[in-house]
Chains A and B, each alone.
Chain A
Amino acid sequence: MTATTYLRAITSTLAEAMRADPRVLVIGEDVAEGGPWGGTAGLAEEFGADRVRDTPISEAAICGIAIGAAQSGLRPVVEIMFVDFVTLALDQLVNQAAKAHFMSGGQLRVPMVLRTQGGAGQRGGAQHSQSLEAWLTHVPGLKVVMPSTAADAAGLLASAIADDNPVVYVENKTLYFRSEDVPEPGPVPIGRAQVVRSGRDVTVVALSRLVHESLAAAEELSADGIEVEVIDPRTLVPLDLDAIVESVARTHRLVVAHEAVEHGGFGAEIVAQVQAAAFDELDAPIARVGAPFAPIPFSPPLEDAYLPGRDGVAAAVRSLV
């Protein structure tokens, strides 16, 4: 067991991948300086400016350069500093990266990772706090992962770098400095969910930060005799539906929780897939927990009220039992 943080797990995984494979390089704004949180700190010193490439504030070109580099033999890890700014690179991601293998009849591969981070709670306002992962899950050809722990942050990043497809790797800024004991680090396969807490009464499928909120809610509910099973899909595309259905077949009740706006969020996709696959197993309607259909307010008390958390998860669970 080693104590580490989510952010340190990312940095050390990047360094290990770069040591192991000269084709891996990091491209993004301020990456040589380490970025706002220090996610790439120390990499430029070890690997040099050629492989830790600082860029101007040109999200579309950064992403396009990574796609071209990936098509010509490199394995770039692009950093888009805030997921809010992925909007500036969407043509590159959606029209160029996601479709290159398909449209070329299999001739091209785009082994790139797009690292970015989302999440509110730090008073960043509506343009630096969003959770936009659902948009990206709608694009065939992209894989989308969202680690919630340091172990998964390391393991999924290693798998994403090794993957021959474009992988969007969405971090959560509020998890960066969470300390955690990590067992032997190893790759976490893309497309495999994890049961993070076992329980017999209700299944909660939670994404990213909401995994921790759901675990806290589960402790509270346990005191009242309600045992919650918490599942972290870890990968959104491809989704490990089997793991969720297996749990629902035991609990017969499901809550889906994420920080993103509930309306059109990825939770809706999970709900639809579960009811299609396991309608007969359900003893209650599936409940969703997500943010209201509004941009994220800046004013601290309003932001706190806006953010989905343990209370919302607990209330949703209680509504089902």
Chain B
Amino acid sequence: MAVEGGAGRELLRTMWRIRVFEERVGQLTRADEVHGLVHLSSGSEGVAAGVCGQLRADDVVYSNHRAHGHAIAKGAPLAGVMAELMGRDGGLCRGMGGSMHLVDAAHGFLGATGVVGGNVPLALGSALAGRLQGGDQVAVVFFGDGAVQGGIFAESVNLATLWGLPVILVCENNGFAEFTPRSAHTNVERVSDVVSPYGLERETVDGNDVGAVRDAFARFLAAARAGGGPALLECLTVRLRGHYEGDPQLYREALAADEWQELDPILRLQRRGLEEGWLEADAPARLEQEARDEVEDAVHAARESPFPPPGLTVELVYAP
């Protein structure tokens, strides 16, 4: 399926918003305005954009500790995400969750988790709820290749398949589980091979090729929506930054700049758009600048938001 004008520009817009937002988050982390353990998805924007751009508002997304891009791609407002990372009352979660625990229920982003693999079964449960209530919603859960070696992953794949649930498991395989290459953790190179005995639909794509992500996910989404059951999409991608902001990355060589230029999902799609003629010559710079303006507005709004009232800690323990 070709990526064409409107859809291509929308994908670029989403990826630029994530890229610039996270660059700014990195700066603000070093400036101690954004707090805590911060994991950036820089390099993997194509996966978030290619997947979430096709979902309906009532489809739900669960995500992992590297969640900013998924939340933004699912529709979370930049100011709300930024204020959350700053621990402000105006944050998506009123400052109670932080970077690893983003939730934006209004946009179907039911949440990130700081426990690797911990919310894979929650996506199954949400998919089950949708089906039992007569809907055709699909649930998506993003996780890294590091989650696949955990027991909860195997339990979840088994049940998703056994029950034919409308859930799509999206693995962002960036080759590193925290500080350690995949080869040191398992003999199974491809995550799509890990799940092969269960009989669900599965595919490994170049996750930096947003068109490939979009096309593969579109097939899985249509099938899941129509009652065809779960699927696993493995997206081979790149984690440009360390595991967390501040990670000295002594365990690997940095990617060469020219090598990254070839891989970068944003630059690749822009080159393609220019070649295919659906992107105007000045569009890349304009898209980037629009994203920068939006992000600066979000930073400004977040800074204006107060910290939450101290009583909120006790107030939120139980739902009324």
Are A and B co-members of a single complex?
A: yes
Q: Which residues in chain A, 128-186, are within 8 Å of chain B measured between CB atoms?
A: 140-141, 143, 164-165
Selected contact of B316 from candidates A51, A91, A102, CB within 8 Å: A102
Known contacts A69-B126, A108-B105; is-contact A61 B159 (Cβ 8 Å): yes
Give the residue name and chain of the B residue nearest to A97 (CB). Answer: B122
The distance in angstroms between the C-alpha atoms of A53 and B162, with both chains bound, is 12
Q: Is A50 part of the contact surface with B, judged by Cβ < 8 Å? A: yes
- Complexed CA–CA distance, A182 and B301 (Å): 59
- Please indicate the chain A residues that have their CB under 8 angstroms from the CB of B125 in the complex: 64-72, 74, 76
Give the residue of A25, A64, A164 whose beta carbon is less than 8 angstroms from that of B122.
A64
| Complex Cα–Cα for A79 and B114 (A) | 26
Q: Is the interface of B mostly helix, strand, loop or mixed?
A: mixed
Contact (Cβ within 8 A) B97 A72: no
Using known A-B contacts A105-B92, A109-B319, determine if residue A64 contacts B124 with beta carbons closer than 8 Å: yes
A101–B97 alpha-carbon span in the complex (Å): 10
Q: Which residues of B contact A276 (CB under 8 A)?
A: none
Closest CB of chain B to A152's CB: distance in Å? 21
Stretch among B3-11, B148-156, B185-193, B199-207 lining the A interface: B148-156
Interface residue count for B (Cβ, 8 Å)? 48
Residues of A contacting B94 in the complex (Cβ-Cβ under 8 angstroms):
105-106
Bound form: Cα–Cα A109–B139 in Å: 18
Closest-CB distance, B183 to chain A (whole angstroms): 27
A107 with B129: CB separation less than 8 A = no
- In the complex, the answer to whether A91 meets B118 with C-beta atoms within 8 Å is yes
> Which residues on the B side are within 8 Å of A100 (C-beta)?
103, 111
A104 touches B119 (CB 8 A): no
Cβ-defined contact, B155 with A96, below 8 A: no
Which of A230-263 touch B at CB < 8 Å? Answer: none
CB within 8 A of A61: which of B62, B104, B121, B130?
B121
Chain B, 98-149, CB within 8 A of any chain A CB: 101, 103-106, 110-111, 113-115, 118-130, 132-133, 139
Query: Is the CB of A127 closer than 8 A to any CB of chain B?
Result: no
**A106, B163: Cα distance in complex, Å:** 31
A320 on interface, CB distance cutoff 8 Å: no
Flag if A101 contacts B319 (CB, 8 Å): yes
Tally chain A residues at the interface, Cβ within 8 Å. Answer: 46
- B126 interface neighbour in A63, A71, A92, A106, Cβ under 8 Å: A71
CB contacts (< 8 Å) of B156 on chain A: these are 61, 64
Whether B320 sits at the interface, judged by CB under 8 Å, is: yes
In the assembled complex, the Cα of A275 lies from the Cα of B160 at a distance in Å of 51
**B110 — which chain A residues lie within 8 A by C-beta?**
68, 71-72, 108
Known contacts A72-B126, A74-B132; decide if A104 and B121 are in contact (CB<8 Å).
Answer: no
The contact of B159 among A56, A95, A104, A140, by CB within 8 Å, is A56
Give A229 to B250 CA distance when docked, in angstroms: 66
Given contacts A64-B156, A101-B316, contact A72 B103 (CB under 8 A): no
Chain A residues with CB below 8 A from B318, complex form:
101, 141, 143, 165
Which residue from chain A places its CB closest to the CB of B62 in the assembled complex? A68
Given the interface contacts A61-B121, A96-B113, does A68 sit within 8 Å of B129 by beta carbon? yes
User: CA separation between A91 and B151, bound complex, in Å?
Assistant: 12
Which of A62, A68, A104 counts the most B-chain CB atoms under 10 A from its CB?
A68
Cα distance A70–B111 in the bound complex, in angstroms: 14
Given contacts A68-B126, A74-B129, A108-B105, contact A58 B317 (CB under 8 A): no
List A contacts of B121 (CB < 8 A): 60-65, 67-68, 92
Is A104 a contact of B97 with CB atoms below 8 Å? yes
User: Chain B: which residue is nearest A88 at the CB level?
Assistant: B151
B residues within 8 A CB of A65? Answer: 121-122, 124-125, 128, 159
Q: How far is the CB of A183 from chain B (nearest CB, A)?
A: 30
- B91 beta carbon closer than 8 Å to chain A: yes
Point out the residues of chain B lying under 8 angstroms from A264, CB to CB.
none
Do B319 and A164 have beta carbons less than 8 Å apart?
A: yes
The smallest C-beta distance from A17 to any residue of chain B, in angstroms, reads 16
Q: Which A residue sits closest to B133, measured CB to CB?
A: A73
- In the complex, A13→B162 CA distance in Å? 29
Please, which residues of chain A bring their CB within 8 A of the CB of B106?
107
A92 to B115, CA, bound (A): 10
Residues 1 to 53 of chain A near chain B (Cβ within 8 Å): 23, 25, 50-51, 53
A87 sits at the interface (CB 8 A): no
A50 to B155, CA, bound (A): 19
Which A residues are CB-close (under 8 A) to B119? Answer: 64, 68, 96
Interface residues of B in 74-93 (CB under 8 A from A): 91-93
Which of A58, A72, A111 is close to B158, meaning CB atoms less than 8 Å apart? A58
B96 within 8 A of A: yes
Query: With an 8 A cutoff between CB atoms, is B233 at the interface?
Result: no
Q: Give the residues in chain A near B101, CB-CB below 8 Å.
A: 99, 103-104
Other-chain contact of B93, A72, A105, A143 (Cβ < 8 Å): A105
- B128 to A69, Cβ gap below 8 A? yes
A96 touches B118 (CB 8 A): yes
Instruction: State the CA gap A164–B320 with chains docked (Å).
Output: 7
A319 interfacial contact with B, CB 8 Å: no
Write the chain B residue with the least CB distance to A66: B125
A/B interface sample: 6 pairs, CB < 8 A? A61-B124, A64-B125, A68-B125, A72-B129, A72-B130, A95-B118
Chain B interface residues (CB < 8 Å from chain A): 60, 62, 91-97, 101, 103-106, 110-111, 113-115, 118-130, 132-133, 139, 151-152, 155-156, 158-159, 162-163, 316-320
- Going nearest first, the 9 A-B pairs with the smallest beta carbon separation are A68-B125, A64-B121, A105-B94, A68-B122, A61-B155, A72-B129, A105-B93, A69-B125, A104-B103
